[in-house]
Chain A
Amino acid sequence: MCGTMNSKMKLLVIVIIAAAIIIPASIYAYNLYLTTQVGPANFIPSNSTFVLKINQNGSSYYIFGSDKGFAILTPINSGIQMQKSNLTFNNTSIPLTKYANIGGFEVYQITLYNIIDGYLTNQSSRYLSSYPIDDQFIQNLTNESLYLYEPYSNHLIVGTLGEIKNTIYAYNHGTNFSNKYRYISSKGLAEFYINSNNETIWGNISNTSIYVFVHLTNGNISQLYNETSYLRDLGVKVIKLNSSTLELIIPVSSISKQF
């Protein structure tokens, strides 16, 4: 009888310990699953100082940067296409040079010379045929490079080398924008996120208004209390204002009035 009780107790303890591991692990796995759906947020670094998302014709374009440089994440569509050894952008063909395999991604190099040359060649065939272009002039103009790779199907990231490495590191190490994606998840004309040591600013732009949320980690913006009546006169709706937070909506009409 006592042995049976001990056996039952032992099993109960084992089951409780197992449940204590399995239940939180399952919740963690589900949350992790949501972040592993490969998308823009996986490649935008969490330490980005700014992220701008522009929505156009059902596609989203992301421009982001940090102290490492900047990059643009764009879908490959009719306007921009990546094919063997060249990138086609609005009928302009730009040659690609294989740069390196970084963190499992094939990264390609394009020089600004190639971009300008390709663009002018395209233009000259249509408009500038009577004006010879000094090739050496363009070459001297810049030898700077941009780098690009295909992060996932039908998308490209183009940017400076430092930021390209930053995006690959963000994906490979999970230090990406997934947890902050809510800041730019609405579907207006554009969404923005700016982060510095002292403040975080995010918001969105629609056809009728601009929504802005400012959060200060250091400092005080309560002095803006004196300005609220002026802002209201301009048509700006101040939703929230305290020592660390400012939330407002600026109607587009109020901006157009100023100009």
Chain B
Amino acid sequence: MSSNFFNIYSHYFRNYYRSKSFYLILIIVALASVLMSYLTFKYSNRVSEMLPSRLISLSKVNSELLMMYLWAYIMSSLPVFASVFFSSPAISSEIEMRTGYFVFSQPVDRTILVLAKYMAAVTVTIISLLVYAFSEVISIIYVYGFIEYNQLLWSMAMLILFILALTAFTFLLSSIFNKNLYAYITSFVVYFVIFYAVNLILYLLYNYNAFFLLNNAATIIERVYININPTIFTSNFSLNPAGINDIILSSVVFVIYTIACLVGAIVVVENKEVQ
């Protein structure tokens, strides 16, 4: 069973990193890295201008944390594109391209197939984002002379959990649709329109922070530096990091999404008839 898993994982991993999608994502990530490096070099002296004037002048540590917050703010959006590019067609393409006739008729457990393909998509998403993380570390150390590794590691750990959850979520959508385009569009619309709209409605009408939404939980990637939630309108502003309870809460939300969506995808694929 484990050799089956590894063989399928290797096969799809090779497929992913040889695909045009992978190079497209790499280009997008590299572009984002260049832009953020430019911002770091040009804006590091003036980063305190972001703050309300009543706040006390920034220490070097807080200036650096604020800059890392900006890096993480962009970073938390990149997995959405990477995951959707790699995962949205994961199941739907097998139906649309009619490769499902061949793949699903193999003596391979469909659950193993889904899990191996899922892990391959997670791996290439993480690899493509390493370029960004590497650029961040180099730029920050070059400009500030040091880096807050503790917060950086928390941010990276949260990023990996977010990728696991988001990839599972797009796998579920991919398993529902028989056409890639529908899976792509639905993934983007649900994440960037539905989640954000629900978040706004619950917050503005009912003053309720929708912690259970994936986009809201993903803000922990930047909030481990400074606890400002960019999905909520508020005049509250302080430079403190998110506490351990915030980190655990987002982690639990990621785990719930991962398990629920993966199991949902497995159930759909196991019952899918290739026509």
Per-position binary interface string of chain A over residues 212-239, scored 1 when its CB falls under 8 Å from any chain B CB and 0 otherwise:
0000000000000000000000000000
- Contact (Cβ within 8 A) B243 A174: yes
Tell me, yes or no, whether B255 is within 8 Å of chain A by CB. Answer: yes
Tell me, yes or no, whether A189 is within 8 Å of chain B by CB. Answer: no
Which chain A residue shows the least CB distance to B267? A11
Residues of chain B within 8 A of A152, CB atoms compared = 236, 238, 240
- Contact (Cβ within 8 A) B59 A22: no
Contact of A153 among B237, B241, B248 (CB under 8 A): B237
- Contact (Cβ within 8 A) B270 A22: no
Residues of chain B within 8 A of A25, CB atoms compared = 252, 255-256
- Contact (Cβ within 8 A) B252 A22: no
Contact of A96 among B56, B61, B235 (CB under 8 A): B56
Tell me, yes or no, whether B62 is within 8 Å of chain A by CB. Answer: yes
Tell me, yes or no, whether A247 is within 8 Å of chain B by CB. Answer: no
- Contact (Cβ within 8 A) A98 B263: no
Tell me, yes or no, whether A35 is within 8 Å of chain B by CB. Answer: yes
- Contact (Cβ within 8 A) B240 A151: yes
Question: In the complex, which residues 54-76 of chain A have their Cβ closer than 8 Å to any Cβ of chain B?
Answer: none
Q: List 5 A-B contacts (CB under 8 A).
A: A22-B259, A26-B256, A105-B239, A172-B241, A174-B248
Per-position binary interface string of chain A over residues 1-44, scored 1 when its CB falls under 8 Å from any chain B CB and 0 otherwise:
00000010011001100100110011011001101111000100
Tell me, yes or no, whether A108 is within 8 Å of chain B by CB. Answer: yes
Residues of chain B within 8 A of A82, CB atoms compared = 54, 56
- Contact (Cβ within 8 A) B249 A101: no
Tell me, yes or no, whether A79 is within 8 Å of chain B by CB. Answer: no
Tell me, yes or no, whether A150 is within 8 Å of chain B by CB. Answer: yes
Question: In the complex, which residues 27-54 of chain B have their Cβ closer than 8 Å to any Cβ of chain A?
Answer: 53-54
Contact of B245 among A32, A84, A103, A106 (CB under 8 A): A32
Contact of B59 among A15, A28, A33, A101 (CB under 8 A): A101
- Contact (Cβ within 8 A) B246 A36: yes
Contact of B266 among A11, A106, A173 (CB under 8 A): A11
Task: Pick from B65, B236, B237, B244 the residue with the most CB of A within 10 Å.
Answer: B244
Tell me, yes or no, whether A171 is within 8 Å of chain B by CB. Answer: yes
**8 additional contacts (CB under 8 A) given A82-B54, A105-B240:** A14-B267, A29-B211, A29-B212, A32-B245, A33-B211, A35-B245, A42-B243, A174-B243
Contact of B252 among A32, A38, A83, A150 (CB under 8 A): A32
Q: Which 3 A-B pairs have the closest CB atoms?
A: A153-B236, A104-B241, A18-B263
- Contact (Cβ within 8 A) B252 A28: yes
Which chain B residue shows the least CB distance to A170? B243
Residues of chain B within 8 A of A29, CB atoms compared = 211-212, 249, 252-253, 256
Tell me, yes or no, whether A85 is within 8 Å of chain B by CB. Answer: yes
- Contact (Cβ within 8 A) A104 B56: no
Tell me, yes or no, whether B178 is within 8 Å of chain A by CB. Answer: no
Tell me, yes or no, whether B153 is within 8 Å of chain A by CB. Answer: no
- Contact (Cβ within 8 A) A36 B267: no
A131 CB → nearest B CB, Å: 34
How far apart sit A26 and B252, CA to CA, in the bound complex (Å)?
8
Residues of chain A within 8 A of B197, CB atoms compared = none
Contact of A36 among B240, B243, B255 (CB under 8 A): B243
Which chain B residue shows the least CB distance to A21? B259
A60 CB → nearest B CB, Å: 17
Tell me, yes or no, whether B21 is within 8 Å of chain A by CB. Answer: no
Per-position binary interface string of chain B over residues 246-275, scored 1 when its CB falls under 8 Å from any chain A CB and 0 otherwise:
101100110110011001001100100000
A224 CB → nearest B CB, Å: 40
Residues of chain A within 8 A of B56, CB atoms compared = 82-85, 96, 98, 106, 108
How far apart sit A178 and B267, CA to CA, in the bound complex (Å)?
40
How far apart sit A18 and B244, CA to CA, in the bound complex (Å)?
25
- Contact (Cβ within 8 A) B211 A22: no
Residues of chain A within 8 A of B239, CB atoms compared = 104-106
Tell me, yes or no, whether B15 is within 8 Å of chain A by CB. Answer: no
